[in-house]
Amino acid sequence: MKISENGQELLEKFWIAIEEKGQPSFKASGGNPEDFMELKLLGLIHNATTDWKLTARGSVEAGRAIRRHRLGERLVADILQTENEQMEEQACRLEHALVEGLDESICTLLGHPVFCPHGNPIPPGECCRENRTKVDRLIAPLSECKPGQSGQIAYLRMSHPARLQKLMSMGILPGGQITLLQRSPSFVFESGYSQFAVDEDIASDIHVRLKI
């Protein structure tokens, strides 16, 4: 299905409003009527007066659009290491190039991230559900590394504030170097000039840009 760039961006707004903020519909005020009409003709949205809703197919396409955008953010932040003020612009350009199939390859390379750099969830794709590993990962959770593997901390998972705070208090921050020393009975790693022992849950929150 061919959807214009403006149409994809509008689908993202629908997804955020309806799927993430729990709004019953999306209001057309301030939007471009042509973009709404494009999505309507494609059978992705339908309206009642001034309020619009996603169709079943529209919900699927909106999820794919927001997934591509947030994978693009993850890619430019973790691999290209783009500064934050430029990240959004480059992610917008990149998402439209992530045709179906390519986004799954990038997702696998990134280690199937579940959050974008802003902490927003990335809808899972088939590659996530199947946990594909046939493409060598560039980024992986510390919990999946082997003893002796090292790299740079790419990002910390944000879904558990207490664990995130603990890591930050230990000085474990994005950009720091890290080496896994052992996996059992605890995950022991070295970062900076210190060694730390953590459980598997905390180790899974540390995502490492691996040395290849």
Closest-CA residue to 25 (of 61, 1, 60, 49): 49
* pLDDT block averages, 10 residues each, the chain of length 212: 88 93 84 90 87 94 93 78 61 68 81 85 87 65 93 81 86 92 96 94 90 72
User: What is the structure's pLDDT at 72?
Assistant: 86
User: What is the structure's pLDDT at 132?
Assistant: 61
Beta bridge partners of 182: 188
- Considering the domain delimited by 1-137, tell me its CATH architecture: Orthogonal Bundle (1.10)
User: What is the structure's pLDDT at 104?
Assistant: 85
Q: Where in the chain is the domain with CATH 1.10.10.10?
A: 1-137
Contacts 24+ apart (CB under 8 A), 33-38: 34/6, 35/4, 35/6, 35/7, 35/10, 36/10, 38/3, 38/4, 38/6, 38/7
- Report pTM: 0.65
The two structure tokens encoding residue 1? 């299905």
Q: Residue 71 burial by CB count (10 A; 0-12/13-18/19+): exposed, middle or buried? A: buried
User: What is the structure's pLDDT at 7?
Assistant: 92
Half-sphere exposure of residue 35: CA atoms within 13 angstroms, side-chain side: 17
Closest-CA residue to 31 (of 11, 16, 48): 11
Looking at domain 139-210, its CATH superfamily turns out to be: Ferrous iron transport protein A (FeoA) (2.30.30.90)
Sign of CA dihedral 101, 111, 159, 97: negative
User: What is the structure's pLDDT at 89?
Assistant: 66
Q: Where in the chain is the domain with CATH 2.30.30.90?
A: 139-210
